[in-house]
Amino acid sequence: MEKISHGEPTFFTPKRVFAMFANNHHNDGHVAVWLPAGPGVQAALIEEAPKIFFRPPYVGTAGWVGVELSKIDEDWLGSLIREAFSLIVEKDSAAGSRKSSKSRRR
């Protein structure tokens, strides 16, 4: 689902954010999407292609990666967005499993 959050289009699974659009956020010069990435992926992408990928503010410390939209093709971007969605859905499922196992123990 898409909603405006912090003044920009933001995309949610039912429970969590999996993609955020950033249009020159605080005049940083990037027209980008910010996506969560698995452990080590952010650093690898930035090292591999520093003109395409960057560490975004706020969420970068949690492993999210910024993707410069003018420098990436649609297929690669689509793949990254699908991976981000899957990562967050997996976290949602894991969180749900932990909650239901706690309630069964009571």
* For the chain, domain boundaries: 2-99
Q: Which pLDDT belongs to residue 99?
A: 59
CATH class of 2-99: alpha beta
pLDDT at 103: 52
**What is the chain's mean pLDDT, rounded?**
89
Parallel, antiparallel or unpaired: strands 17-23 and 8-12:
antiparallel
Pairing of strands 17-23, 53-54: unpaired
5-55: per-residue pLDDT in tens? 888 899 999 889 999 999 998 898 999 999 999 999 999 999 999 999 999
* Whole-number Å distance between alpha carbons of 68 and 87: 21
Mean pLDDT of 74-83: 97
